[in-house]
Amino acid sequence: MLLESPVATSFREGLLTPKWHEAAQPCTLGWSHLSYTVTKQCKSILADISGRCAPREMLAILGPSGSGKTTLLDLLADRISSGKTTGAIEVNGQPRDHRSFRSLASYVAQEDALLGSFTVLETLQFAARLSLPSSISASAREARVRAAINDMGLSSCVDTRVGDIFRKGLSGGQKRRLSIAIELLKEPTILLLDEPTSGLDAASTVSVVEHLRHLSTDRGCTVLCTIHQPSSDVYDLFTSVLVLAAGRTMYFGPPLGALSHFAAAGYPCPPMTNPAEFYLELVNDDFDGHADVLALAREYDPRPVLALLETDRASLTGIIASDDGASAFAQGLALLDRTSINNVRDPGVYWVRLGMYTALSLTTGTLFLSTNAKLNEGNRVALLIYIQAFLVFMSIAVLPVFIQQRAVFARERANHNVAVASAVGANFVAALPGILLIALVSASIVVPLAALRHFWYFVLNLFLTLVVAESFMHVIAAIVPQYIVGIALASGIYGMFMLCEGFMVPRPDMPSYWLWGHYAAFHSYSFEAFLYKQLAPMNSSESRFLLARYGLQDVNCDRNMLVLAAYALSLQGIYFCILQRFHTGRR
C-alpha cells in the first residue's frame, strides 16, 4: 500500500502553496476552413469552421445538441481518425505535428474515469508515474502533484478516496477537478475539455470554470472547452466564445461582441436574459421559434479571425516536442502497483467472489462428505463437475469491475499515458495472487471434507482454470459496450462450453460436428484432469467403468495443464490485440 508522503502532511498543515510556472512554450491553436464529413453516411458534421485560441485565453464552444461542438473539439485534440477532414489545424501558425502536439496538449473527457479505491493524492501520484518522463526525479514528480492539487483546489480532500458503490467519496465537482488535475501533471500549454461542467450543480460549475480561468490567466495556458448552457456568471468568465449550429459558425469572438452581432442580425438579446441561453435557443432548430440558421451563418464574417491566423503564421515561432512520457517498463511497474492495490481494496474484484467461493465450497464439501457411505464414485464425478464448472462460471461477477477499469485505460491511452502492453501485462500479473488465494481456499475446504486426492494438483488445476476464466473476462470486457451485454455473452459461451466439455455427453458419444466445441472449451481440459487424478489411482471396477464411460482411460494431465496455461496466454494476446486496435481513444 502507498505510505503517506510528506506531501499529504504538508497540505494538511497548510505549509505548501505551490504555483504553476509560466508555460514553457505558449501556444496559439488555430483552425481555418475546417470541415468534417462522416464518409459512410455522407453526412456533413462541420462546414468551413475557423477560429483561434491564444495563450491566456479561454474559449467556450457553445451550441445545441448535434451542432458539432464535440466533433470540433475532438478534431482539434487529434482524437478523430475516421471520416473526411478538410481545412487546416495549426499550432503557433505551423501545421499541427501529431507527436509534438501530444506533448503540448491534454484532453479532459466528459466522463470522470477514476478508480474509487484511491485517494486524491494516490490517484495523482500514480498518474504522475504513468505520464511523466522517467528522467524526472521523484521530488520533481511530487512537486507537480502538489501544484496540481493546489491549482485545482483539492488540498482539503487530499486524503479522501474517490468513492464507488462500496464507499462514499468525492463530490461531483471534486471528481471533475481531480480529472482536470490529472491532465495538468504534464503541464500542458493547451488544455481541451469536453463539457467540464456536465452534471454539476451551479456552485460546482462556477468553481470548476474559475479554476480553469486561473490556469489560463496565471499560467498562460490555452484553454478550450465545450459547455452546455452556462449561467451568465460562467459565461462572463470566458475570453471568447464560438457559437455553432448545424455544423456552422454563428459567431466567433469576445462574449460582449456577441450581443451586438446578433442584434445587428435582427435578434437583440432581451434585458435581464442570460445571453448564452438566448443564443442557444435562437440557433436550436429542433424546436419552433428558432432563427434561420443558414441566414445567421451568412451574417458571420470570418475575415477578422482569418487575418489573425495569417499574422500567427508570420510572427509566431515553431514549437519543440518535449520528452515522451514514462517508459513502457516504468508504466508496467506503476500499473502493477496500482492494480495490485486496487484488487485488495475493491471488494468487487476478489473479496466478494472469495466469500461466495468459500460458502459454496463449504456447502459442496459437506454435501459430499467422505463419511457418507451412501455416496459412490459417480457422485464424486458430479462433485468435480460442479467445482470445475460453477466456480469458473462465477468469474462473470468481475465483469463490471473490468469494464470500469477499461474506462480508466481508455482515458489514459487516449492521452498517451499508458502503453497497451504495459496495461495488459500488469493486469494479468496482478490478478494471479487473488486467483491463487481463491483456488487455495476452495481446495482447502473441499479436498479434506470430500476426501479428494492430490491436493496440490487440485489447486494447480483449479488455479489455471480460473486464470483462463479471468482472461476470458478480460476479452469479454474489451468487446462489449456495457456489463449487462457482457454477462449475457459470457453466460452463453460458458453454457456452451459446459455442454461440450464431456460430462453431459461424453466425448465418445459426442456428434462429430460438435467435437470442435469440445476441444475449444477450456473446461474440457480441466474436467479431464480433475476426473483422471481422482479416479485413476483407485483402480476399482467402478472407477475404471467411469473413466471408460467418459473416454478418459489415458489422460496426460501435465499436457492438459500446459494447454490451460497456453489458453490463458492466448486469451491475453487476443485481449492485447482488441485494446490495440479498437481502444485507441480516437474515433
* CA distances to 126, 335, 445, 463, 534 from 434, in Å: 22, 16, 17, 10, 26
pLDDT of 29 reads 97
Query: Which of 518, 514, 509, 516 lies closest to 548, judged by CA?
Result: 509
Give the pairing type, strands 222-226 and 240-245: unpaired
pLDDT of 6 reads 45
Helix axes 557-582, 420-450, angle to 10 degrees: 150
Residues with Cβ within 8 Å of 363's Cβ and at least 6 positions away in sequence, in order, are none
Give the pairing type, strands 240-245 and 58-62: parallel
pLDDT of 11 reads 46
pLDDT of 322 reads 66
Mean pLDDT by 10 residues, the chain (587 residues): 46 44 76 93 92 97 94 95 94 91 92 96 97 91 95 95 93 95 94 93 92 92 94 95 96 95 94 92 78 90 96 86 79 97 94 93 92 84 89 92 93 92 97 97 96 95 97 97 94 95 92 95 95 90 91 94 98 97 85
For residue 159 the three cell numbers come to 486524503
How big is the CA angle at 196 (ends 191 and 202), to the nearest 5 degrees? 140
Query: Which of 497, 464, 494 lies closest to 569, judged by CA?
Result: 464
How big is the CA angle at 210 (ends 206 and 213), to the nearest 5 degrees? 140
Residue 137 corresponds to which amino acid? S
pLDDT of 20 reads 44
pLDDT of 496 reads 95
- What is the spatial distance between Cα 130 and Cα 150, in angstroms, rounded to a whole number? 20
Q: What values do phi and psi take at 231, rounded to 5?
A: -70, 170
How big is the CA angle at 463 (ends 457 and 465), to the nearest 5 degrees? 105
Q: How far is CA 259 from the centre of its chain?
A: 41
Residue 52 corresponds to which amino acid? R
pLDDT of 56 reads 96
- For 142, counting Cβ atoms within 10 Å of its Cβ (0-12 exposed, 13-18 middle, 19+ buried), the class is middle
pLDDT of 24 reads 57
pLDDT of 290 reads 73
pLDDT of 323 reads 62
- What is the spatial distance between Cα 135 and Cα 143, in angstroms, rounded to a whole number? 15
Q: Domains in the chain and their CATH numbers?
A: 25-114+188-314 (3.40.50.300), 328-582 (no CATH)
Give the pairing type, strands 240-245 and 43-53: unpaired
DSSP 17: -
